[in-house]
Amino acid sequence: MAAFIPRVVQRKPGKSKPNIATTKTRKGPQVSSSENRVQMVDLRSGKDNVDKEVEEPKCEPGHGRREDDDDDVDEEVVSFSKNQRWPEYGEPVCVVCGRYGAYVCDQTEQDICSLECKARHLRDIGQHHNQEESSNVYNETDECQKNERDNLIYTDSNYTYKEHPTIAALTAEQVKQLRDKMEIKVKGEHVVSPVLEFFHCSFNESLSKNLSNHGYHSPTPIQMQVLPVLLSGRDVMVCASTGSGKTASFLLPMISRIHHITGKLLPSSPEVRFIYGLILAPTRELCMQIEKQTKEFVHGMTNMRTALLIGGVPVPPQLHRLKMGVQVIVATPGRMVEIISRQAVDLTHVIGCVVDEVDTMLQLGFEQQVQQILERLSNRRQTMLFSATIPPSIEAMASRLLNAPVFISAGSPSLPTKAVKQLILWVEEKSKKKQLFSILKDSRHFNPPAVVFVESKLGADMLAEAVSKVCHIKCLSMHGDKPQAERAQILQDFLAGECPLVVSTAVLGRGVDLLNIRQVINFDMPPTYEEYVHQIGRAGRLGATGWSISFINNASKGLFLQLINKLQPMGVKLPDELTRSAHVLDERRRASNSRKRAEKDEIVNQSNLMDLIVKRKKNK
């Protein structure tokens, strides 16, 4: 592999930047080629070191260090952009990736962060004619090969998000007031301002037209902040209530960034067949919904095709779809892993990966599959994590998947949507069917179309049959054991209004936009508070109002204290059997004792040492 010498790094007149070292002569045979003699600048000392002979830098995984550099060089030129830090306020910014612009390119006088971004920069402006030279910084180890793939022509390193003049004109105080008004919370460094309208994002004409045609006229609060952050290329973790528009908030930037690449390519170009976007979701129905929405957004856009990879359907048609060339994949983890195991897909060109319902995806056996998939992606990908509920344990786990992320929430994250009126009834196990039949027979209480959630697949089949017989209502069951074709038909009939009631397991509990649903009945309480939030959220999509009825008894006592702490402040009336439960009193007593023990376990320091000694003597 031909040499790639860091001679492009020099200082601007009167400008000094840290973290750059001169390259000393490599031990061993000297290099005679004049192309490998370069002028280096030591910006730390402010002196020019001229005519030092430099041989090919042999890269090792991660940092591109030579075997004999430890003794000769105090500080190296950064090889890969991922190893460069993010800039502080007022510091120069890399023109390619946005990291700290530690160096200056001598051909263009532009700030760059690493040798990798130097190669990208020169390639983008047409000065990099030698393809081999652009790869010299890499070695032939697995790690370096992975970074080499990042430097090919099909990446969108030149995509730049520019704030609309209206947004750029907002002061910091106005941005803060806007976020407070919209209940938007952000955490992270250098977070871009929220937009007010979709046209502030500068989407192309086709995407803007598709938005309007499908009823997207103004962004929701979560979309106002997430859209510009994702367009700027940042990793995110987003938590917002059900029905708040999270799906569109990750689809629109992904489509815009991908089409920025594919829209310039000829249909015969091999880069057109690369996969640039990957979306992972836990259920087949949710994947089908996301893929459908993606198709709506990319309608009429050149070189933008999707593939749906889910279980329950034959694999060969999905493989054929991939061979035809697609740019975006929507998949369940299980089927994606199966496709990968067949070596039927190349994910090394993916620039954006979404993990939807991340709290579920990092639990329930999905975690290993998700990790296996992410390992196949480029290190330079943009990672986006979304859910309506993200517990602290999952947040800590998910944060390890992100690079310099922005955390965004809107409204009251991890709380039930305010658009759904909640009614919780104390119903003993043996009386639940009778109570359900009574509700369904009373037009004042039954508000179709509705979903009844149960715990088991067998229970769904049996309850649906019983409802049909006793209440004379067309009722179908939905669960994971049904063939995919039957599940799709049931969902289609339900959304078309041909079936007013569906009894379902948690398969419909997350993400699926059941836009016409007015009522949710939790026949069996879900095992976790987070699942409760997701399930009742099926009745309050995109601002629509709904109603939820939940049956609860001592079988769900593990939820009692959480329901009291979360729902009572929202004004939800809870049954006395729940609030006065002995289990709740025990939980509160244990919590109180834990606090008292923590108070007693004082930390010994210089100021309280004598007091603790005196107290101990008195106790004796």
The model's pLDDT over 243-284, given as tens digits with 9 standing for 90+, comes to: 788 899 999 999 999 999 998 888 888 888 999 999 999 888
* Higher pLDDT pick, 66 / 227: 227
| ∠ Cα 606 608 610 (to 5°) | 90
Are 86 and 114 contacting, i.e. CB atoms less than 8 angstroms apart? no
Residue 608 has pLDDT above 80, yes or no: no
Report the CATH number of the 420-580 domain: 3.40.50.300
Does 165-410 carry CATH code 3.40.50.300?
yes
C-alpha span between 193 and 205 (Å, rounded): 23
449: three-class secondary structure by DSSP: coil
Residue 68 has pLDDT above 50, yes or no: no
**pLDDT bucket at 31, cuts 50 / 70 / 90:** very low
Report the length, in residues, of the chain.
620
For the stretch 111-120, pLDDT in tens is 888 888 888 7
State the span(s) of the chain assigned CATH 3.40.50.300.
165-410, 420-580
Determine the straight-line distance between the first and last CA of the chain, rounded to whole angstroms.
78
Name which of 399, 367, 354 is nearest 230 in CA terms: 354
Mean pLDDT of 605-611: 62
Per-residue confidence (pLDDT) for residue 377, from 0 to 100: 92
Per-residue confidence (pLDDT) for residue 418, from 0 to 100: 74
CA distances from 51 to 8, 22, 56 (A): 14, 11, 15
Interior/surface letters 601-611, b for 16+ CB within 10 angstroms, e for the rest: eeeeeeeeeee
For the stretch 217-251, pLDDT in tens is 889 999 999 999 999 999 999 988 777 888 999 99
C-alpha span between 341 and 347 (Å, rounded): 12
* Higher pLDDT pick, 418 / 245: 245
* CA 415 to chain centroid: 20
Residues 6+ apart with CB under 8 A from 369: 333, 334, 336, 337
Are 12 and 105 contacting, i.e. CB atoms less than 8 angstroms apart? no
CA distances from 93 to 128, 153, 188, 429, 476 (A): 21, 22, 17, 63, 58
C-alpha span between 203 and 76 (Å, rounded): 40
C-alpha span between 406 and 171 (Å, rounded): 20
User: What's the count of helices (H) and strands (E) in the chain, helices before strands?
Assistant: 22, 19
State the span(s) of the chain assigned CATH 3.30.60.220.
81-122
Q: Strands 328-331 and 306-309, how do they pair?
A: parallel
pTM of full prediction above 0.95: no
Report the CATH number of the 81-122 domain: 3.30.60.220
What is the overall mean pLDDT for the chain? 77
C-alpha span between 388 and 358 (Å, rounded): 9
| Residue 196 one-letter amino acid | L
Per mean pLDDT, which of 67-71, 77-81, 355-359 is the most reliable?
A: 355-359
Per-residue confidence (pLDDT) for residue 360, from 0 to 100: 81
For the stretch 328-353, pLDDT in tens is 999 999 999 999 999 999 999 999 99
